[in-house]
Structure 1
Amino acid sequence: MHCQVPYCLAQDLDTLDRRLIDSYQRGLPVCIRPFHSIAERLGCSEDDVLARLERLQAMGVLSRVGPVFDHARAGASLLAAVAVPDAERDAFAELINAAPGVNHNYAREHDFNLWFVMTAPDEAELEARLDDLEARLGVPILRLPMLEGYHIDLSFPIPWAELERA
């Protein structure tokens, strides 16, 4: 799961929500019924896990639930960036997030202030997706194909107590 807990929402998350987030930012079970496996470990029902994941996504706490794998072995991917007005960054981020194959979209303090990874089944589809997104955004996309792979752990400890005080 890719998680970003807005400060204003921390108080809306109960202990089970927090355990779900803390336990499965990495290590999502690879099995026929992964959510059942998660439910067993957390001591709740599979339906409860699914409902909570849907609610957390609707709240904007989770941006994505699914595996992260080496896209070069399963298709094509690249890092991309756009330069957008800071006042419109969230609106641009929503458009980017809605595009097929986008993950790891994040803001940076740079002229290119939104960075994301886009994936596709092959290079031709990747280029088509990028061209389509570029047309919808109305700004050029900086395309940075991977020359050498590095593993970056995208899970982060959540400082729940600090978020509650904010």
Structure 2
Amino acid sequence: MNNARAATAATTPMEPLDPLDRRIVNALQRGLPLVPRPYAQAAAALGMTEAMLLERLRALLASGVLTRFGPLYQIERAGGRFVLCACHAPAARMEAVIAAINAQPEVAHHYARTHHLNLWFVLAVARPEQVAPLLARIAATAGVEVLPFPKEREFFVNLYLPA
């Protein structure tokens, strides 16, 4: 998803969420119903129309309140692997390093941070043996050392926004 690939730290203040947006965020974290029209059913449970729910979600994404809206996969169950990676991208080369990293289709998204390891990204590969050669290719094309942080344990963090 292109908008997720360009996720960076917010630099502008955002308007506070109104109670309806808070209810939407809280409700949809638990998932969408597995029915032919999941947004219509979710909207009905929230007391609104499907069109209204979709417009609110688009606005939350456009404003940066949500940086991504989509399913989370347990890729390991399908034989694949997610790997969190970090590198130091010199300020003068930041855009070039980002471009080299994002050129790889296996890169799900990246984040800029204010730390020596100032660029973090996530790899998603179909098979674990693809990780090492992909990291070597990224390091060579981006001209940076890439540090992998493979998942050791999975945590689910649920954000609850009081209305």
Q: Into which bin does the TM-score normalised by the smaller protein fall?
A: 0.5 to 0.7
| Alignment length (residue pairs) | 154
In structure 2, list runs of 5 or more residues that go unmatched. none
Do 2:96 and 2:142's aligned partners in 1 also have CA atoms closer than 8 Å? no
Map of 1:5-154 to 2, 5 A cutoff? 8-11=13-16, 13-24=17-28, 26-32=29-35, 33-74=37-78, 75-85=80-90, 100=105, 102=107, 105-106=110-111, 110-123=115-128, 137-146=142-151, 148=152, 150-154=153-157
Do 1:6 and 1:61's aligned partners in 2 also have CA atoms closer than 8 Å? no
SS, match of residue 15 in structure 2:
helix
Task: Identify if the C-alpha distance between structure 1 residues 15 and 96 changes in structure 2 by more than 3 Å, giving closer, same or farther.
Answer: farther
TM-score (norm 2): 0.65
Task: Identify if the C-alpha distance between structure 1 residues 35 and 88 changes in structure 2 by more than 3 Å, giving closer, same or farther.
Answer: farther
Shift, 1:43, TM fit: 0.9
* Structure with bigger gyration radius: 2
- The CA RMSD measured in Å over matched residues stands at 3.9
Q: Could you tell me how far apart the structure 2 residues matched to 1:65 and 1:36 are?
A: 16
In structure 1, list runs of 5 or more residues that go unmatched. 161-166
Q: Relative contact order (alpha carbons < 8 A, sep ≥ 6): 1 or 2 greater? A: 2
Task: Identify if the C-alpha distance between structure 1 residues 94 and 129 changes in structure 2 by more than 3 Å, giving closer, same or farther.
Answer: same
TM-score (norm 1): 0.64
Task: Identify if the C-alpha distance between structure 1 residues 87 and 61 changes in structure 2 by more than 3 Å, giving closer, same or farther.
Answer: farther
Q: Could you tell me how far apart the structure 1 residues matched to 2:101 and 2:162 are?
A: 28
Task: Identify if the C-alpha distance between structure 1 residues 58 and 91 changes in structure 2 by more than 3 Å, giving closer, same or farther.
Answer: farther
Task: Identify if the C-alpha distance between structure 1 residues 115 and 42 changes in structure 2 by more than 3 Å, giving closer, same or farther.
Answer: same
Of 40-49 and 116-125, deviating more is 116-125
